[in-house]
Structure 1
Amino acid sequence: MPTLKLARLPDRTPVKLTVHVLPDLHEALTAYAAVYAEAYSEPATVEQLVPAMLSSFLDSDRGFHAARTQKNKASAG
């Protein structure tokens, strides 16, 4: 089997997640989608935007990254 520089791709199978939000959050998300459409001249639904918003939030949370790294080190050692 050849050795490739590119590692095996991770599982990219989407996982359906259902959440319930309060009306004020739904209103804010809908307003965000409208502003997004205006800013980029491209419509996007709340359902399309929420995964990107969650990913951005997690990527920017330093405390989460530190805790996750510490937990991974503890379980590996």
Structure 2
Amino acid sequence: MPKLKIAALPDDKPVKVATELPASVHRDLVAYAEALASESGRRIDPAKLIAPMLARFMATDRGFAKARRAGHPSRAGGSEG
């Protein structure tokens, strides 16, 4: 099996976010959690994968990194909604 991009889940203070996922995305998330469980030997709640996946996506998005370096969006966090 190829090495998965998400390995360890960091222990950090969470912020609660409620959202809806398309059924196909949820199925893939469950499948990813199962693949990770078979690799690590321990069960993973699929919802716990969302944050590290988003973080990895943003960390590797060159357009986002460029915009961030240019000051858009603010690193200070700005308004929360």
Structure (1 or 2) with the greater helix fraction: 1
Letter in 1 for 2:23: P
What stretches of structure 2 of length at least 5 have no aligned partner?
1-11, 73-81
Give identity over the alignment, percent: 31
Ranked by relative contact order (alpha carbons within 8 Å, sequence separation 6 or more), the top structure is 2
TM-score, normalized by length of structure 2? 0.68
CA distance in 1, matches of 2:55, 2:27: 21
Post-superposition offset of 1:15: 1.2
Instruction: Supply the RMSD in Å over aligned alpha carbons.
Output: 1.5
Structure 1 residues 13 and 38: alpha-carbon distance in aligned structure 2, compared to 1, 3 A threshold: closer
CA distance in 1, matches of 2:27, 2:39: 18
CA distance in 2, matches of 1:28, 1:56: 17
What stretches of structure 1 of length at least 5 have no aligned partner?
1-11, 73-77
Q: Which moved more, 1:22-31 or 1:12-21?
A: 12-21
Q: 1:75: which partner in 2? A: none
CA distance in 2, matches of 1:14, 1:26: 20
In the TM superposition, structure 1's runs of 4+ consecutive aligned residues that sit over 6 Å from their partners are: none
Post-superposition offset of 1:13: 4.3
